[in-house]
Structure 1
Amino acid sequence: MRRTIGIMLAAGALCLAAGAGAERVQSVFDGGDPFVLVDGDTVWIYPTGGKGLEGWSSTDLVHWRNHGPLLRKSDITWIDDDGAPSHGLWAPDMLAANGRYYFYYSVGPQHPTPSRLGVATCEGPAGPCTDSGRPLLTGGDGFEAIDPMVFADARSGKTYLYAGGSAGSTLRVFVLTPDLMRIDHEVTVAQPPHFTEGAFMHERDGIYYLSYSHGRWNDATYSVHYATAPSPTGPWTYRGVILKTDAAYKGPGHHSFFRDPRDGGWRIAYHRWEGQDGPGPYRGHRRIAIQKISYAADGAIEPISMDD
């Protein structure tokens, strides 16, 4: 049986120290859209939710330390330049490169103005972070600029930005400049089957895996599909569904793959709805889960059976 680690805000969580501003250590926490960074022997999760975009760390995938917000709306000087009445921050991504850390994030909603992506530089995986002072990418013309995923390809030396989804359900791929703060050029890619949002790229044994969410984020249609390719930009070979709603857990999606630094094994972090009935829409809080994955001899990802 595969082991799943559920992560949700819980009463009675352990605290490192009493007093204001103390970091707290918890076995579980709420959130959505988890991005995972492995830094040495520490696993970091950056979810949507909290008071800004927060960082959580663990060395055992059981006890998680909240380091507080790396970035808040008030830290982004351009966030109100479009005149929209309100904005949210979601679906962050952290990349370690060039001796520093780069924090990518979404600004929305899409309406009445286009959504945008931003980027900040950070002194460490827990921040502090300084925003670039300008949008990295702006949506429009049927494209929603959300859900950044940045992948450094060791084979080509290029760093790619994958973005897009929801409104238009369009995936776009860009090559970043060497300073990782601007877009150099766009790469035309085919649209993968059943793509909605939340693209993620990882490479294993020379195979590139593009995985992504399909369906609506707050109902039972939300699921994770994937395709493989000989390069980070395709051509895609659709391989099927690896996470989908079952009797106990609903709407799994928006995920990250990573290797556990303790044993090198591959894991997936994703969010799902728990304690919900019916097809949705669901309300409340999504829970983050981490689960072991395995690959078949031909490189296919084995379907994941969720448990608690």
Structure 2
Amino acid sequence: MRLVTLLHRITLCWAALACGTAPAAEPAPGANPVLRDRFTADPAPLVVGDTVYLYVGRDEAKGNDFFLMKEWLCYSSKDLRHWTAHGAHMKPTDFKWAVGDAWAAQVVQRNGRFYFYATVQHDDTHQGKAIGVAVADNPLGPFKDARGSALVTDATTPSPYNWNDIDPTVFIDDDGTAWLAWGNPVLYLARLKPNMTELDGPIEKIALPNYTEGPWLSKRKGVYYLTYASMAHQNVWEHLSYATAPSPRGPWTYQGLLTGPTHNSYTIHAGVIDDFKGQSYLAYHNGELTLPDGQTGNGNRRSVTMEYLYYDADGRMWPVTQTEAGISMPPKPPAGKVPAPADPGRSDPRVAVQQFAQGYPETWPGRPALASVTRPFEQAPEPVGFNRDGGA
């Protein structure tokens, strides 16, 4: 009987090969997407000892539906190639004042506790998105609401949009000062109190070229980095850009693009892992995964991916090429220095340019001949072409 069964299996295998339907080979560990059991987005890595915990939102949208995100998941790995799924560690409705939307979040560790900063949809007492903070004694949770109310709401940051309070990133400096940054289309920055659940002082607005959303604050060898999704307000799919500074408050120097738009996804969201076991990494997402049940990825069904990240001797990041191989292949550090950004040239001498020393203006000075929005810092203009559709 066993011989008959074996012959039957061999016959099926030969038939599959003859018809060109041989099963696809399993991707190598570390190949992209690195998480393949579910659709996942907005990766936020946390290093604890010799382990990386990766916090993600779960995409569940069907067909062409918009984002459907009901829970946050956690994975862990000691080598970033083999991942253990730990399931959901929190839902938006675990915040009693929230009604849904498990959008981008991040976990940081302080004094042996783990603080989870998350984007959710607030209930009717506050319009739009809000940022909550939950706390746990273990990186896998269970996480519980640390305040009983939102840390940031639309009332905290009045804006023409109800999605401006999204995508929190938290960074704890060497001196113990904790910083929270967030926002779309404006980047907000505030200090946190040592308890990690209250703002400590005023909220600042940080001006960064081409900024859209998804900030990630980090520090390496005394240099502060802000990596962020960019260019969406130029009517293109999101890219990743970054800037550097001597302090979280700036002044920030724009360093250019880190990578371009991802495959099959109009959003991108960065998470940086620096010097983990001697190597740095960039986590982001694309829309390339097909699940075993046949569901295909797209801009609302995304998948976490990872690439090696390199710095030159001056601390500038080398541009990242997105690959299918991901980190399944050994790293190949580039030699030399990152090429300087291209010279943008000079304006016509008849054009008068006024430099704003501190960010963008809150109102237009004087009487500009052309203005597409009334609040130039807060509002994202709709892209308008002057050479089509009759001009503007």
Confirm or deny a common fold (TM above 0.5): yes
Q: CA deviation at 1:161?
A: 0.3
Residue identity in the other structure for 1:173: L
- The correspondence of residues 40-189 of structure 1 with structure 2, limited to 5 A, is 40-49=49-58, 52-80=71-99, 87-108=100-121, 113-132=127-146, 133-139=148-154, 140-142=158-160, 144-154=164-174, 156-165=175-184, 169-189=185-205
Shift in alpha-carbon separation, 1:260–1:69, aligned structure 2, 3 A: farther
Which residue of structure 2 lines up, in the alignment, with residue 26 of structure 1?
none
Task: Give the aligned residue type for 2:208.
Answer: P
Q: 1:186 deviation in Å?
A: 2.5
Q: 2:279 aligns with which of 258, 265, 282?
A: 265
| Cα shift at 1:55 | 0.9
* Aligned amino acid, residue 7 of structure 1: V
- Secondary structure at 2:270 match in 1: strand
Match of 2:254 in 1: 238
CA shift for structure 1 position 9: 2.9
TM-score (norm 2): 0.64
How far did residue 6 of structure 1 move? 2.0
Structure with higher strand content:
1
- Which residue of the other structure, out of 33, 50, 67, is the alignment partner of 2:42? 33
Task: Label 1:291 to 1:110 Cα distance change in 2 as closer, same or farther (>3 A).
Answer: farther
Comparing 115-124 and 267-276, the one that deviates more: 267-276
Distance 1:201 1:110 in 2: 29
Question: Cα 1:215–1:108, aligned 2, differ >3 Å: closer, same or farther?
Answer: farther
Conserved? CA contact 1:52–1:89, under 8 Å:
yes
More helix by share: 2
Q: Supply the RMSD in Å over aligned alpha carbons.
A: 2.7
Q: Which runs of 5+ in 2 are unaligned?
A: 1-29, 60-69, 291-297, 325-392
Q: Is the 8 A contact 2:268 2:286 kept in 1?
A: yes
Aligned twin of 2:36: 9
Unmatched runs of 5 consecutive residues or more in structure 1: 11-28, 81-86, 277-281
Larger radius of gyration: 2
For residues 266 and 321 of structure 2, what CA distance do their matches in structure 1 show?
A: 13
Report how far residue 270 of structure 1 moved: 0.5
Q: If the length of structure 1 is used for normalisation, what is the TM-score? A: 0.80
Shift of 1:105: 0.1
Identity across aligned pairs (percent)?
33
Give the drift of 1:253. 2.0
